[in-house]
Copies of this chain bind each other. A is one copy, B any other.
């Protein structure tokens, strides 16, 4: 889970990128980075662990000069949170000077790493697949352009070769020093990437000129008054020159849009539109369909009130309530301010529990049969605590419903999930899960309903739903690979 943004402006882009990263903060809160390039090609970067607000100091921001730039927010995977070597963006100075950020996950890193060391002789200083991706691209740019000057055609050729070599999910933004901003998306468009444009006065010529943005979510565009041009297409690359001219080309042979369903379920902000689908509306539709499934499995008199687990399940819960004609209430209050635990010498770590994040208001639970709606259930540990909180607050019975189907498989396309054996749905039937969670009734969205809820009314036909179904859209994910991921994650 990461968020990315890139900009080509007429004036300094540092503050705009910073503002954009704040809007993408929900996609990653462990580390962040910004890089900019001056027209001369001189690049600047700042990266640090923590959230955007804490990570950048005034002097960092002042040093980020330039009219072209990019930014990244990062959700760290296990064991890598504090490592400076793993933070994005990544930079190589040959050829040209390229700095790059990436949202997604490559699934053939072992092969690429071997290539890199033996064939390309490029040094990888981290275990990041982003560094690998950058070096594949750099190597291809180097081969492609050894005798002629760099132009959009050569760049797209290098991207095509890169796309041939890498497998997995990726939305990529890069700055090429002295040239411009490059962005491309994998042939299935698994991870999102939007293109936006606005016009501004060029401070030098005084003429009006296009300014461009590419970003993980549309709200970045809207918030800064960019017109939404479109999604970057699956397998498409766009290259925007330093002076604001856009070039684009399809750089993959077989492309099928099959975006990650989890963006709609949980990750994206509701006020985003991606792949032509409003996240908010898709969540309303998830509620609509979930209501039907609930009605099938739960007696009507066992539900007095519908409640969301704030914040992401609110639209679904509201729609469930409307459809079932049952009152909607907010019985949980979410604590917004999260701190740290300071271990004093000789003290044990205290377990942080869900109770520090949610408070139950007993008025809403006392003597009622409650239906709690969450966006999804992964490990189940949080759901279990929430159900207990509802009981402690006086609920007569607790029905728990998930707007997504059971998560039964690994997610290999850039969303952090635990190993299979840690998933509550792993090897359990729904009644067994209900028992484990301690709820009276447990209802999950049907897989087909989730798909329909997302694509309904749009041109979208396919989705990656691998974590629910075990079918991976890229076609190259083997059981051997899944076992290797599981091993390296847990070791």
Chain A interface residues (CB < 8 Å from chain B)? 12, 14-15, 18-19, 22-23, 25-26, 41-44, 51-54, 56, 58, 61-63, 84-85, 92-98, 120-126, 135, 138-139, 142, 145, 177-178, 219, 222-223, 269-271, 278, 280-281, 314-315, 318, 322, 327-330, 333, 335-342, 344-345, 347, 350, 355-356, 359-361, 363
Complex: how many Å from CA A85 to CA B345? 20
Residue numbers in B under 8 Å from A15 (CB-CB): 341-342, 344, 350
Residue numbers in B under 8 Å from A58 (CB-CB): 342
Contact A356/B223 with A271-B361, A328-B318 known, Cβ cut-off 8 Å: yes
Q: Establish whether residues B342 and A42, one from each chain, have CB atoms under 8 Å apart when the complex forms.
A: no
Q: Select one of B95, B125, B278 contacting A42, CB under 8 A.
A: B125
CB distance from A491 to the nearest CB of B (A): 16
This chain: copies in complex: 4
Contact A52/B337 with A63-B84, A271-B361 known, Cβ cut-off 8 Å: yes
Residue numbers in B under 8 Å from A42 (CB-CB): 85, 125-126
Q: Select one of B22, B270, B327 contacting A322, CB under 8 A.
A: B327
Residue numbers in B under 8 Å from A345 (CB-CB): 62
Contact A123/B322 with A52-B339, A93-B135, A342-B62 known, Cβ cut-off 8 Å: no
CB distance from A215 to the nearest CB of B (A): 14
Contact A23/B62 with A138-B94, A356-B223 known, Cβ cut-off 8 Å: no
Q: Establish whether residues B339 and A41, one from each chain, have CB atoms under 8 Å apart when the complex forms.
A: no
Residue numbers in B under 8 Å from A315 (CB-CB): 330
Q: Establish whether residues B25 and A336, one from each chain, have CB atoms under 8 Å apart when the complex forms.
A: yes
List the 9 shortest-distance A-B pairs measured between CB atoms, nearest first. Answer: A97-B123, A61-B342, A25-B337, A95-B121, A271-B359, A94-B122, A93-B123, A271-B333, A22-B337
Residue numbers in B under 8 Å from A18 (CB-CB): 339, 342
